Amino acid sequence: MTDFLSRILGFIKRAPLSYSLSTLLVVTSIYFLPHDFLARTGLDEFISEYNSYLLMVLIFSTVLSGAEMIEYVNKYFKKKREENKQLKLLRLLNKQEKLIIKQYIVNGEATLYRAYSDGVIGGLCKKNILYRASDMEEPLMGFAFNIQPWVLNYYKEHPSFSKEL
């Protein structure tokens, strides 16, 4: 019995919003169709016989659809907050950090080699603007550090912002 319930709950958890919305739409439309149409199609007998089950499906699909919509809206606003936080970090970079980013943009390269002990590079990595691309150090060159794609895209989309560099 618990295996059966866990499978049902697993399906419900993975069921996309479209399933719950379509179920909600179908059951709701059955209840609000004109009575003469229901009588002609024989759905009135179906509704009277399975009314309690249809109500459970209606309630369940309403709750599931509402939860999915709340989760979708929450993810959207979380993503927007994260984007705003990242853009604020770009605006608050100091001169040394801007010079390093300028090297990526002006040279058109995705990778720069620097010493691992470089504090400015470490700060940019902590701010999620750069990341260490390899664990292996190139002799005499240092470690490979790449710029995050969202940073490059932002500077390409906003040329006025890249002039500040």
Closest CA to 69 of 20, 11, 28: 20
Handedness of CA 149, 154, 156, 157 (dihedral sign): positive
The model's pLDDT over 49-100, given as tens digits with 9 standing for 90+, comes to 988 988 888 898 888 888 888 988 999 999 999 999 988 988 899 999 999 9
- pTM for the whole structure: 0.60
Q: What is the CA radius of gyration of the chain?
A: 28
Q: Residue 126 — pLDDT band, cuts 50, 70, 90?
A: very high
